[in-house]
Amino acid sequence: MRPNKKFSTYTTLFIACFSTFSANLNACDLHAAGGFGNFPMMPPPHSSAFKQSLIVEPITLKHAKKVMVSSGKDAAILFSYRVPKGYDNVAISFSGPQEVNFPEARTIYPKQGNGVFRMKYSAAKKGRYSMKIHIKANQDNHSVSRYQSVEIYAG
């Protein structure tokens, strides 16, 4: 009985590809070449390789995205925040066009943990304005910065 030439060709190609693929398997950077099966070179949890793989929880700031106010009247927006461990020098700054007035400090300096605060403001005249919120902090000696906004509709 004569072997099937097509079958023989495909079998040879499969064996050649498989052997090449399996010969090129290597351990990842966290595992050295000395015995991948037993993970003998796994870094301890306090090593820099382990720290780089951790996902850092961001600072969160929750608030209304749009507010309606009467022009010329005092108003306030309630903000809640969460500053996880690992952040320091946290500052949350507020700004807006000249038609939006802030009677109190425009920057707060929250500490780690959860908190709530009210930002007082007023819109001088009718219109649509955008209050900009800038969140700045340091995390592991790196500067972190993010912007959010609140749309103000004054009537």
Q: Which domains does the chain have, with CATH numbers?
A: 5-52 (no CATH), 60-154 (2.60.40.10)
pLDDT, tens only, 71-87? 999 999 999 999 998 89
Give residue 24's pLDDT. 47
At residue 135 the predicted structure's pLDDT band, cuts being 50, 70 and 90, is: very high
Which of 73, 40, 78 shows the shortest CA–CA distance to 154?
A: 73
- Hey, CA dihedral for 51, 52, 54, 56, is it positive or negative? positive
pLDDT, tens only, 39-72? 555 555 555 555 554 567 889 999 999 999 999 9
CA–CA dist 71, 24 (Å, integer): 70
Tokens 């010329």 -> residue = 72
Three-class DSSP category at 102: coil
Q: What is the mean pLDDT of residues 23-46?
A: 53
Most distant pair of Cα atoms in the chain: their distance: 99
Q: pTM of the full predicted structure?
A: 0.62
